[in-house]
Amino acid sequence: MRIRPADRYLAARRASLLLLLLTAGSTSLHAQLTPEQVTRLQAVTSAALSPDARHVAYTLSQPRAPEEDTVAGLRGFSELWVTPASGGEPRPIVQRPASASSPMWSPDGSVLAFTLRGQVHTVPVAGGEPRAVTDVPGGVLAFKWSPDGRSIAYTSRVAEDAEAADRRRRGDDVMVSSDPYIHWIVGAQPPRPVRVWVRPADGGDAVALTPETEFVRDFVWSPDSRTLAVQLTETGDADADQMYRRLVVVSTDGRSPLTIPTEGKLGPMAWSRDGSRLAFLGATSFNDPLAQSVFVVTPGGAPVNLIPGFEGSAVWVDWQDDRTVRFIAGESTKTALNTVPAAGGAVTRVVGHGPEIFTSANFARDGTTFAVAANTALHPNEVYIGSTRDRRLRRVTNHNGWLAGVQLGRQETVDWTARDGWTMQGVLIHPAGAPEQHARAPLAVLPHGGPEGTSYDGWSTNALYPAQVLAGAGYAVFMPNYRASGGRGVAFSKGDHRDLGGREFDDVLDGISHLHAIAAVDSARVGISGTSYGGYFSAWAGTRHSERFRLAMPFAGISNWMSFTGTTDIPVEMAVVHWDLWPYEHPLLMWERSPLAHTAQARTPMIIGHGLADDRVHPEQMIQLHQALRLKGVPTELILYPREPHGLLERQHQLDYMRRILRAFDMYVKPAVRPAT
C-alpha cells in the first residue's frame, strides 16, 4: 500500500475550502446543520503519542460519500494518519478504501504498528510501505508490544473444528442451548473462543498463554515483559462479557495462572512501573452498573478500592509512578484526568472540567506529555496534546473545518432539583441563533441509553441523536442525566434499582418543568426521541405520560419487559445491575413498567424505528408497540432498517431517520396549538 504524498492532502484541504466558500455563496455563511452534513462528519477515534512526544498517530473515521453507497459496502472507513505533536500537516499512512485500527508505537519509537486487513503491520517513523509482521489464520483481533520491544502479544479466534465446519457445509448446523458457545441470533454462527498468543517481534513461532476453550476479553503486559494480566470469560455471549469476566495473571514461561478475586464488571487495567501491583477499573458489587471504581491489587492479595464515595465514574486508568495512580473520570457532564495515592487518599484533579471531553489518554516516555481524542460542543473528536505540567490541552488537528461556517446552538450544563431532593444535571442546547434571553422554545428531549450512559457537555450530534440539527430547526434540546446515569458515582448509578421508569423518569419530567420555569422552553410543546434505553424512555413518555408529550420517537426501545428479557442478549446484565431483581419473579412490576401496559391511555403520535439485525433489543419490541398503538387508533408509523444492528450504521438509513425526526417534530411539536390526532 502506497503512502499518499502530503501535497495530495493539501489539495484535498483546498478543495474542501473551495466547496465551503461556494456553499456559503449560495446559501449563508451561518447556515444551520443539516442531516446531510451530519453524515459527512469525520472523527478521531484513537490517538497514540510516540515515546519521544514528537508524533501522534491517530485513526480517523471517514464516512462514505453518496456515490459510494452500495449494498455491498455501506459502512465507513478508518484511516490512519501521523501528525507532528507540535502542529502541522498530517500525513496519511492508510487511506480509503482500506481501513486500519489500533495504532501503537514500538517501545523505542522507531516504528508504528497497527492492524490492517486483519494482520499487524508496521511502518517506520520516517515513512514507507506498511509491512505485515503477522500471518495469523483468521486474523488478529488485538495486539500489544511487550515493554522491552522483543515480543508481540495478540488475540485471535480458535480455528473452527474441521468436523464442525464440514457439518455446517452440509446444513447440519442446529443450535442447541447446552452448547457453551451458543449465540442467540437467528442465523448467526456461534462465536469461536479467543486465545492470547505471544511471539517474537522479529518473527518466529507463537505460544498460546490461555486455554483454547475460553474467550480473552482484554490483556496488558507487565513491565518485566514476561507476565500479562488477562480478562477472560468461559462463554462468548454478551452477558458473559459484561458480567462474568475473570482476572488472571499468566506468564510466558508456562507457570500456572494466578486468579485475582473480583466481583461484577471489569474495565481497563495497568501495571505499576515496578510490576508489583495491578490497577484496574471494576465494580464495587455484582449489581454495580459500571466498572467505575479504581482498584489496586498485589497479585495474591485482595483488591482495594482507592476512590470509595467518589462522585464520578472512572473510565481509564494508568500509573504516574509507583506511588500514584492516575485515572480519567466522567464527572457529571465533564471529564477530568485525576491522580490518587496508590495507598489511598484524596483525589487530585490534574487536567479537565473544561470544554474538552476525553475518555482515554496515551502518555509519552516522559510521563507528563499525553495525547487524547477530545471533542467539544463545537466539534467531534480531534487530536489534542496535553501536559501535566501546565495542565492544559492544545488542539492539533482540524478535520471538520467547514463547521466554522455552520451556526450551532449555544450549549450549557443545567442543574435542577428532583422532587425528592436529589440534585440533577444535564445538557441544554438553545435554538441556533437565539439570543441569550429568548422566548420559550419548543423542546426536544433526547435521553441517553444504558441507563448507565452519560450525556456530556461536548459534541452530542449523530444520526440517532441529531441534537444540533434540531437546534438549527428552532428547538431547544435537553439531554438529561437522570439517576442511574454514569458520571456521578456508584450510589447515583444504582439510584433506579427496582424502580425503572419510576423516579428516574420523574427526574426528566422535573427537568422539563425547571426549564419551563426559567423561561427557556415551552413545556406545552415537547417531543422526545431516544435509542435503546432512551427508546424505552421515549415509549414510556408516549404511553404512561402521554399528556406531557406531543410526539415520541423510540428507536430500538423496550416496550415489554417480560418479552425483552426472553429475547435480549444481556438478560443477566439488565436484571442484575439495573432492575436488581429477576423479572420472572416480579411479573406484575415488569408489566406495570412496560409501555405496552399503558397504551389504553396513549394519545401521543409515535414514529417507531428498529434495526432488523439487532440482538440487544429484538425488533419484536417495537413491532409490539406499533401494533398496540395501531389497534388503539393512535397515529403511528413503524420503520424497520435491514442489516442494522443496535443502531444505524448505513448512510441512507441515517439520512432517512434524521429527516423523519425533523418532519415529525415540525408537524407535532412546533405548532403553537397541539395538532388534533
Distance CA(373)–CA(365), nearest Å, equals 19
Half-sphere exposure of 90 (CA within 13 A, CB side): 24
> pLDDT-based confidence at 75, cuts 50/70/90?
confident
Average pLDDT over the chain, rounded to an integer = 92
Q: Is the peptide bond before 451 cis (omega within 30 degrees of 0)?
A: yes
For 83, 107, 226, 368, 597, the CA distances from 55, given in Å and listed in that order, are 6, 14, 28, 15, 57
Identify whether the C-beta of residue 79 lies closer than 8 Å to the C-beta of residue 92: yes
- Residue 408 confidence (pLDDT): 98
What is the Rg, in whole angstroms, of the alpha carbon atoms belonging to the chain? Answer: 25
State how far the Cα of 268 lies from the Cα of 314, in Å rounded to an integer. Answer: 10
Indicate the pairing of strand 551-555 with strand 606-611: parallel
pLDDT value at position 389?
A: 94
Residue 287 pLDDT greater than 90, yes or no: yes
Segment among 7-11, 191-195, 431-435, 445-449 with least mean pLDDT: 7-11
Confidence class for position 76, pLDDT limits 50, 70, 90: confident
Per-residue confidence (pLDDT) for residue 393, from 0 to 100: 97
| pLDDT digits 0-9 by tens, 617-652 | 999 999 999 999 999 999 999 999 999 999 999 999
**Residue 185 in this model has a pLDDT that exceeds 60:** no
* Distance from C-alpha of 156 to C-alpha of 143, rounded to nearest angstrom: 9
Cα distance from N-terminal residue to C-terminal residue, the chain: 59
Label residue 10 by pLDDT band (50, 70, 90): very low
Give the whole-angstrom CA distance, residue 44 versus residue 360. Answer: 13
| Residues contacting residue 1 through CB under 8 Å, at least 6 positions apart | 94, 98, 116, 129, 130
Domain ranges, ordered by start, for the chain: 1-133+361-388, 407-668
Q: Would you call the peptide bond into 97 cis, given omega within 30 degrees of 0 as the criterion?
A: yes
Residue 27 has pLDDT above 50, yes or no: no
**Hey, what's the cell of 455?**
450525556
Kindly tell me the sign of the dihedral angle through the C-alpha atoms of 568, 572, 573, 575.
positive
CA distances from 271 to 276, 461, 483, 607, 666 (A): 8, 36, 33, 49, 54
On the question of pLDDT at 186 being above 80, the answer is no
- Residue 268 confidence class, pLDDT cut points 50, 70, 90: very high
Beta strands 521-531 and 551-555 are parallel
Res 315: pLDDT: 98
Residue 567 has pLDDT above 70, yes or no: yes
Cα-based torsion angle of the residue sequence 112, 115, 116, 121 in order, rounded to the nearest 10 degrees: 40
Predicted local distance difference test score (pLDDT) of residue 165: 77
In this predicted structure, the answer to whether residue 547 has a pLDDT above a threshold of 80 is yes
Per residue in 505-522, pLDDT tens? Answer: 999 999 999 999 999 999
Model-level pTM greater than 0.75? Answer: yes
Helix, strand or coil for residue 85? coil
Is the pLDDT reported for residue 11 higher than 50?
no
Count CA atoms closer than 13 A to 199's CA, side-chain side.
Answer: 17
**For residue 557, what are the contacts with CB-CB under 8 A and spacing of at least 6?**
530, 531, 532, 533, 534, 535, 536, 537, 538, 539, 595, 617, 621, 622, 625
Cell 441470533, residue?
185
Question: What is the C-alpha to C-alpha distance for residues 214 and 217, in angstroms, rounded to an integer?
Answer: 10
From 136-140, 201-205, 404-408, 600-604, the region with the lowest mean pLDDT: 201-205
How many CB atoms within 10 Å of residue 27?
11
For residue 3, the model assigns a pLDDT of 39
Grouping H, G, I as helix, E, B as strand and the rest as coil, residue 184 is: coil
Q: What's 136's DSSP letter? A: -
- Given this model, what pLDDT does residue 296 score? 98
Cα separation, 454 vs 329, whole angstroms: 12
pLDDT of residue 461 exceeding 90 = yes
**Assigned C-alpha cell, 557:** 426501545
What is the arithmetic mean of pLDDT over 457-463?
97
Into which CATH architecture does domain 407-668 fall? 3-Layer(aba) Sandwich (3.40)
